Structure formats: C-alpha cells, structure tokens
Chains A and B, each alone.
Chain A
C-alpha cells in the first residue's frame, strides 16, 4: 500500500530500526559492562511485552507474573544442573515447564475477575515460591549457585559467556517482540484490540473474551519462563527470594509498561528503555530512585492513561509498529 508517510513516523521508525541494528552489533561495539546491562534490558523487555499483552489487551491485570520467571529459573536449574541436559535445550524445556504450570495456575486464577484476579495471581505466585523453597535439591530456602560445568558449556571464559547469554537474550526478546506483533495483526489480535477499547462491546460482536484471555495467559507463560532461565544464566544462581522477585519481575515491569504506555507495542519498549536510563543515572540515590519511578507512573496515569507513548502517538499519523488493518483506499 502506497501512502505518503509523515516525516515523524519515518523518523520514529528509523530510530526503532537503528536501535535494533545497535543491539545486533552490540557485542563488537560495547564492553562487557554494557553488554551485561543490555542483557538485563532485553530480559526486562520480554517481561514488559508480556505484562502489556495480558493487562493492556486482555484485561488480565496480573501481579503474579514473577511466578513464571521463577518457575523458568528453577526448571532451568533442574534440567541443566541436576539432569545435566545441555543449556540451550534446558532453556527451552524451562519455557515448556512454565507453559505446563500455567494450566493449573489459570484454572485457579480465571475463576476470579479484576481486583480479585490480581490478588489471586499474587497468591498463586507466593505459593510457587514457597514450594520452590522446600525443594532441597534446589538449595531449599537459601538457593544454590549454577555448577561450573553448566557455565563451561556456554563458553570457556566468563567474557565469552557474557556474549553467549547476550545472544540468547536478544533472540528471546526479538522472538517475543515479533511474535507478539504477528499475534496482534492476526484475527485474534484485532479482537484483543477491541477488548482493550471496550470489553462488553467486543463480546457483543463475537469476540470470545474467555478464550482470548486464556490464549494470552498461555502465550505469556513460556516467554516468562525462558526469560527466567536467561536471568538465571546472568545471575548464576537460583533462590526463592531472587528468582521469584516480585519487585524485579512484576513491580518494575508494571511501572515500565504504565509509564511507557499500556495497550500498545511501542509503550513497553519505551518504558523499559526509560527505566534503564533512569536507573543508570539515579541508582546512586538508592530508594529515591524507586520513589521517583512510582511518582512518575502515577503522574503519567493522571495526564495520559495510555502513557508516554499515548502522548507521542497523538502527534503521529500512525503507529511505528503497524498493527492496523486498512480498507480499500479511497
């Protein structure tokens, strides 16, 4: 379809593509410190994309998504360290375990709606964390470090391993981004966008709200599990408190998506970038950094419920990542 593109949209897409290219050449350009931060950024981006899909489109406002990150971490440890399966396969299996455990979690959580669902997801996440703390083979309550052979399988020296983990995180983030984009462009996706805008109205034109919510819940679980496995490779250990961290894997993620813009693909990306920029500059201020994030997210909700991306989007002719469908041009 040929349409004159507005210069702002072209500029925005250029920034997006430049960012992707930068990520693709990062190992040859940046030092290990930056690579490590970028790995963490990519993992957080996956979590943000998934929370946005659930809360922004399917109206499943979960505060328990750290459960699947932790499950991924523990499953990865089990496969890689205990069963001694090669790390790449162990990562994939961790994603599958997260998907499998999403089924019983969904059976509990989906009996509830809205506020009760949010609390339900939290309770289920706590439950998984408590169970993890009881597994003595996984270090019980204090956790355990990844054994050296697992690390060696990724690379002989730490520097190589940093790069390998970065690539894994990049592949995961790219897969999460592009597959979620394709999902939103599909016939399911147009139903999700309708749900985002008016849930009862979407149901009235035939969008199966229950099935759409279930699909999104099951869609996010393996990605969260894979992210948990990769986060474990970066942190080099598992423990109930750190692997199931509600602050790192849910609260920050909610801040990021809310600040960046809920219910769009660009919003979570923008919010996660902003989070890391703020963290790099403000981490010296300790707790103030968190209070600023909290204040910022409240301010954004009050000014524009669709976040910073909502503010920018008003000045653009269309989305940077096009999810829209057009009729015959007149």
Chain B
C-alpha cells in the first residue's frame, strides 16, 4: 500500500473538519475525491502533505509513519502536491520554479535538477514559457506550473487540489493529458475536484467526502449511482 490514512481527525477549535477518516491508495491508481464545499477536501490534503498536524490518527507512506514529519521531508519521501490557488515563486522564472522543486524535492544536484526540470516542462508543454517570470503567467499556465513543480519532485504520490477549477473544458482536457503522460505504474494520483465530470474521465476509483468522513468509495459509476451520494452531493449539483 502506498498511502494509508487511519483514523485521521482534525478540528479547528470546536469545528471538526475531518473526523475518523480512513483511506488507502495503491500504486498506479487515480483516486478521485469529490465532496461539497466544506467537506474537508483541502484540509485532508494539508494533513497528508504535512502543512497541518492532525488532532488524531496516522498517515503512512509506503509503510512508513510520516504523521510527525514536516512538509519538506514528506515531499522528499515522494509526496508532490499542487495548491488550489497556485503558489508560484512570482519573482523567479518558470524554469527556476521547477528547478527548485527538482533540486530540493528529489534531492538532486543543480545539474541533475536542470535536466529533470527541462523534461517536466517539455512534458507539460510549458517549455516555451520557461524564461518568463512566473508572476506574469495566465491561469492555465499557472496551473500547468503548479503541476510541473509537483511532478519535478519525482512523486510517488501526486496530490492535485482542484487543478481543473476555473478552466475551460479544452483546458481541463490538456491537464488530464499531462497527468496521464506523467503517471508511471508505481505512482498514484489523488485528485480533488469540485467538477465531477473531469474526475469521471480519469479516476480509477472515486471517494465521496461528506462531513469530514468518507461517505462512499469504489468504481466511479457505482459511486455516482449510489443513492446516498446523490442525496447529499449530486442533488445540489443538478446532475
């Protein structure tokens, strides 16, 4: 098992955002996580990536307990993540943005990191923009850059937080294409998305988050056909 989350809880004061959540992810799969706003999706990512400490529970990566590790150690152990709101290094070039991730995330020298950054930028179709200042990119390119940074750390587990949010249909298709090309057999993708249709196209498994726990999980079509899921979530989406 690549990722094992057991009994995970997180409260902010008296507000319990994640409550006794358990989840596991195997290499090679694409787990889509959907859920209404406030279901705890982004908090779950912040717990897995190490930005927030959990109030209870454990997180294991390839069998190793990483619950107490800071974000940079988790990154180096193989967790790459994107942010819902892109966090570019605004005063650095696109190339340098990816180079930082390649050098620090995969513990490479500058020379090795350079090669890795070039390969990732080419894969994502961002090579032509590599000399531009990251702060000047369009939304699609910022999302591409987020993805490039996450891929440059050589992740075993890729966490994508609403990376298709705010993009048009063809732009979504572009991003899905990049993720498909980047995924290796030993790598897993966990993809949070508000828009169900995007995930339906790429997810091998779907989990529905509701009230801080997993409401349903399984094959995408079966999960979406589940009457409880339709009640709490899809009903509001007007499917």
Contact = CB atoms under 8 A, between A and B. Distances in A.
Interface in A183-197: 186-187, 190-191, 193-194, 196-197
B217 interface: no
Interface residues of B, number: 44
Interface centre among B49, B100, B150 (most CB of A within 10 A): B100
A325 interface: yes
Given A198-B87, A206-B153, A208-B72, 6 more contacts: A190-B103, A190-B104, A194-B104, A206-B76, A206-B101, A327-B121
Contacts, number: 114
Interface centre among A201, A207, A327 (most CB of B within 10 A): A327
Interface of B: 49, 51, 70-73, 75-76, 80-81, 83, 87-93, 95-97, 99-101, 103-107, 109-110, 113-114, 117-118, 121, 127-128, 130-131, 149-150, 152-153
Interface centre among A196, A204, A207 (most CB of B within 10 A): A204
25 contacts: A187-B109, A187-B110, A190-B110, A193-B100, A197-B88, A197-B90, A197-B91, A198-B89, A200-B51, A200-B87, A203-B51, A203-B72, A205-B105, A205-B153, A206-B101, A206-B105, A206-B107, A207-B104, A324-B93, A325-B114, A326-B95, A327-B121, A327-B127, A327-B131, A330-B127
B153 A326 contact: no
Contacts of B117: 327
A202 to B, nearest CB: 7
Contacts of A203: 51, 70-72, 75
A328 interface: yes
A328 B223 CA distance: 46
Contacts of A327: 95, 99, 114, 117-118, 121, 127, 130-131
B100 A207 contact: yes
A210 interface: yes
A201 B101 CA distance: 10
A326 B83 CA distance: 25
A209 interface: yes
Contacts of B128: 330
Contacts of A328: 118
Contacts of A206: 72, 75-76, 101, 104-107, 153
Contacts of B130: 327, 330
B49 A326 contact: no
Contacts of A325: 93, 95-96, 99, 110, 114
Contact of B92 (A197, A207, A210): A197
Contacts of A198: 87-90
A202 B88 CA distance: 9
B70 A194 contact: no
Contact of A191 (B103, B114, B121): B103
Given A187-B109, A200-B51, A325-B114, A205 B100 contact: yes
Contact of A190 (B51, B91, B99): B99
A321 to B, nearest CB: 15
A204 B49 contact: yes
Contact of A193 (B89, B127, B149): B89
Q: Which 10 A-B pairs have the closest CB atoms?
A: A206-B105, A201-B87, A205-B101, A206-B104, A197-B89, A206-B75, A327-B95, A203-B71, A194-B100, A207-B104
A205 B75 contact: yes
Contacts of A326: 93, 95, 131
A201 B88 CA distance: 8
Nearest to B152: A205
A190 B87 CA distance: 16
A43 to B, nearest CB: 29
A205 B88 CA distance: 11
A197 B97 CA distance: 10
Contacts of A330: 127-128, 130-131
B107 to A, nearest CB: 8
B104 A191 contact: yes
A202 B89 contact: yes
B104 A187 contact: yes
B105 to A, nearest CB: 3
A200 B85 CA distance: 12
